[in-house]
Chains A and B, each alone.
Chain A
Amino acid sequence: MEQIKLILKDIPELHRIEVYEANGGYSALRKALGMKPDEIIEEVKKSGLRGRGGAAFPTGMKWSFMPKDSRPKYLIVNADEGEPGTFKDRAIIEKNPHQLIEGALIAAYAIGAQTIYVYIRGEYVKWMKILQNAIDEAYSRGYIGKNILGSGFSVDIYIHRGAGAYICGEESALMESIEGKRGYPRVKPPFPAQYGLWGYPTTINNVETLANVPVIIEKGGEWYSKIGAPKHPGTILFGVSGHVNKPGIYELPTGILLTDLIYKYAGGVRNNKKIKAVIPGGSSTPALRGDQIEGVTMDFDSLRNAGSMIGTGGVIVMDEDTDMVKVLWRIAKFYWHESCGQCTPCREGTGWMFKILDRIVKGGGRPEDLDLLVSVANNIEGNTICALGDAAAWPIKFGVQRFREDFEKYIKFKSTVLVEK
């Protein structure tokens, strides 16, 4: 499959506005401002673009939910990248921040937003500075601010720094956080397009999603829809980490074979080991066993059929020596730490799952613990306000099923013999 780069282009110094402009930058904004907002939404719908933050929701449809009244409206750029295994948004901000800004401006125009907030995770100080610098450059050239390029459209962009809470990547928790509160997800409906920031219509899009928008406006939705997997088109910035020779970000068309991503692009597994497991889209997506990945392609449908999800496209590869019980123990610890505490099944359930796994890892596991883990996971799943509950439950539930032998060994030998050292 051909490597086509729509975002991470091989152009040196692309983060500088002169370089971005010299390579056609901000011409999509100019074109968009000459279109009607509805025409832009139609074009994005035609492109088939789906959100890159994890849920893969159709972007054009999301925009079309925004009411056409005169109330204030908001666009939020979700740069709260926190899903373990995910490190793509920071690459976009570092290498091509203006394409993100341009995409956000086009989106704001399409939905009628007058203010854009970029919610960025608190640890990304370096990337906040890069982005602020790019925003300042764009203001100084008239791409942001009042009466942009003489179109009559005005919008401001502000960066809002998070403070270390994974849950704030969830769109309604994120809005609460901007409002200056704890990041407690809201009950939906009402959805953000009806009742968002301060009760006004709001759209929240991931960094990578918005960075695709200028390309769609420039080349047309139909052109874009022909890239990659037909039902999930475009490129994805796949982040490959773990036991591979060349970890990193690979921008590739959707629908690429998972095995090609690992062996052709990420250099294969370290020391030529076999693959024990692969987490295909960030830690919320259930791990696939090494014998389950043959023929699986990196798109929404194929991964769902394989028993996992595309998520954020953050692929974590684990070799044959990996202690899967320890991996699942670490994942459970993460969700326990990050549960906001609002819903009882998640607040208590994540803690129970971690405690059971901790007991097993420390050699005190009991045979009935495996059914107990699945039972706790089942009682979290579907019983919480937001998706964190499911995200915590699925990896453990499927993990116990798919790596049952590893668990049984731990419990039988009552020791940590499997722990790598």
Chain B
Amino acid sequence: MFTEENLKKVEEIKKRYPTSQAALLPVLWIAQEQFGWISEDVMRYVAELLGLPYSHVYGVVTFYTMYNKKPVGKYHIQVCTNVSCMLRGAYENLEYLEKKLGIKVGQTTPDMKFTLTEVECLGSCGTAPVVQVNDDYYEDMSKEKLEKLIEQLSRDRK
């Protein structure tokens, strides 16, 4: 299931630790990169690859919030609403995004383009409120800046 390149990466990662179990988190990251989310099949595959019980892999995947347990849109919009962001308008931003995208928190647009998630502190309190889209931080976000960002991402037809 993994590409040749990813299988090589797994071997490299295993060398960093004395047990193959320790490679689990990094290997799950590789899996999420390749498949976009971590399905039951992927969990079984990773379990076999590292010689771990499926139940262990399932326990780990479901413990960590960043592993996607269901498919997410091309752009995963993660809005921090913790205190520093809340004090500077995070909930208003979240409400705005719900309206703009026509979905509620936790949902994905039918075209699989956007997923909207509310997240805990992203460590960007000095430039709050912050929104993370996939791997990138967008800081000091206002409704105007969000509108521009969404429109820019929407134009991409790929």
> Given known contacts A182-B63, A247-B125, is B22 in contact with A316 (CB within 8 Å)?
no
A327–B83 touching, CB < 8 Å: yes
A166–B19 touching, CB < 8 Å: no
**Could you mark each residue 41-66 of chain B with 1 if its beta carbon is under 8 Å from any beta carbon of chain A, else 0?**
00000000000100010011001111
| Residues in B neighbouring A241, C-beta threshold 8 A | 84, 87, 125-126, 128
Distance in angstroms between the alpha carbons of A314 and B82 in the assembled complex: 13
Which one, B1-9, B132-140, B141-149, is touching chain A? B132-140
| Residues in B neighbouring A84, C-beta threshold 8 A | 82-84, 120-121, 125
Question: Nearest A residue to B62 by beta-carbon distance?
Answer: A182
Shortest distance from the beta carbon of B50 to any chain A beta carbon, whole Å: 8
**Which B residues, 119 to 133, have Cβ-Cβ distances below 8 Å to chain A?**
119-128, 132
B22–A331 touching, CB < 8 Å: no
Which one, B24-32, B96-104, B106-114, B150-158, is touching chain A? B24-32
B82–A283 touching, CB < 8 Å: yes
**Could you mark each residue 214-246 of chain A with 1 if its beta carbon is under 8 Å from any beta carbon of chain B, else 0?**
000000000000000000000000011111000
| Residues in A neighbouring B127, C-beta threshold 8 A | 247
Question: Nearest A residue to B137 by beta-carbon distance?
Answer: A126
**Which B residues, 62 to 116, have Cβ-Cβ distances below 8 Å to chain A?**
63-67, 81-84, 86-88
| Residues in A neighbouring B128, C-beta threshold 8 A | 241, 247
Which one, A132-140, A157-165, A359-367, A408-416, is touching chain B? A157-165
Shortest distance from the beta carbon of B15 to any chain A beta carbon, whole Å: 10
Shortest distance from the beta carbon of A354 to any chain B beta carbon, whole Å: 13
Contact of A161 among B29, B59, B124 (CB under 8 A): B29
A239–B16 touching, CB < 8 Å: no
A316–B87 touching, CB < 8 Å: yes
B25–A163 touching, CB < 8 Å: yes
> Given known contacts A83-B121, A84-B121, A164-B65, is B60 in contact with A181 (CB within 8 Å)?
yes
Distance in angstroms between the alpha carbons of A316 and B87 in the assembled complex: 9
Chain A CB count within 10 A is highest, among B59, B84, B119, B122, for: B84
Chain B CB count within 10 A is highest, among A84, A177, A330, for: A84
A248–B126 touching, CB < 8 Å: yes
Which one, A36-44, A117-125, A300-308, is touching chain B? A117-125
Distance in angstroms between the alpha carbons of A366 and B86 in the assembled complex: 26
Shortest distance from the beta carbon of A398 to any chain B beta carbon, whole Å: 15
> Given known contacts A177-B25, A180-B19, A316-B87, is B82 in contact with A90 (CB within 8 Å)?
no
**Which A residues, 89 to 143, have Cβ-Cβ distances below 8 Å to chain B?**
89-90, 121-126
B28–A163 touching, CB < 8 Å: yes
Contact of A179 among B19, B81, B120 (CB under 8 A): B19
Distance in angstroms between the alpha carbons of A334 and B120 in the assembled complex: 7
Distance in angstroms between the alpha carbons of A155 and B82 in the assembled complex: 38
**Does B21 count as interface, using CB distance less than 8 angstroms?**
yes
**Does A85 count as interface, using CB distance less than 8 angstroms?**
yes
| Residues in A neighbouring B67, C-beta threshold 8 A | 163-164
B135–A163 touching, CB < 8 Å: no
**Does A198 count as interface, using CB distance less than 8 angstroms?**
yes
B66–A122 touching, CB < 8 Å: yes
Chain A CB count within 10 A is highest, among B25, B67, B123, for: B123
**Does A25 count as interface, using CB distance less than 8 angstroms?**
no
Chain A CB count within 10 A is highest, among B19, B26, B66, B126, for: B126
| Residues in B neighbouring A126, C-beta threshold 8 A | 135-137
Distance in angstroms between the alpha carbons of A410 and B52 in the assembled complex: 52
Contact of A330 among B19, B81, B122, B125 (CB under 8 A): B81
> Given known contacts A177-B25, A182-B63, A322-B87, is B120 in contact with A338 (CB within 8 Å)?
yes
B65–A124 touching, CB < 8 Å: no
**Does A392 count as interface, using CB distance less than 8 angstroms?**
no
Question: Nearest B residue to A338 by beta-carbon distance?
Answer: B120
| Residues in B neighbouring A248, C-beta threshold 8 A | 126
Shortest distance from the beta carbon of B65 to any chain A beta carbon, whole Å: 4
Chain A CB count within 10 A is highest, among B83, B135, B137, for: B83
Q: Write 24 A-B pairs (CB below 8 A) sorted by A numbering.
A: A84-B83, A85-B121, A123-B122, A126-B135, A163-B28, A163-B65, A163-B67, A165-B63, A165-B65, A178-B22, A180-B24, A183-B64, A239-B125, A240-B126, A241-B87, A241-B128, A249-B126, A279-B83, A283-B121, A316-B84, A322-B87, A327-B83, A327-B87, A340-B63
- A-B contact sample (16 more), CB < 8 A, given A164-B66, A243-B87, A327-B87: A81-B123, A82-B120, A85-B84, A121-B123, A123-B122, A124-B123, A162-B66, A163-B67, A164-B119, A178-B17, A180-B60, A242-B84, A247-B84, A247-B128, A283-B83, A314-B125
Please list the residues of chain A having a beta carbon within 8 angstroms of any beta carbon in chain B.
Answer: 72, 81-87, 89-90, 121-126, 156, 158, 160-166, 177-183, 198, 239-243, 247-249, 279, 283, 314, 316, 318, 322, 326-327, 330-331, 334, 337-338, 340
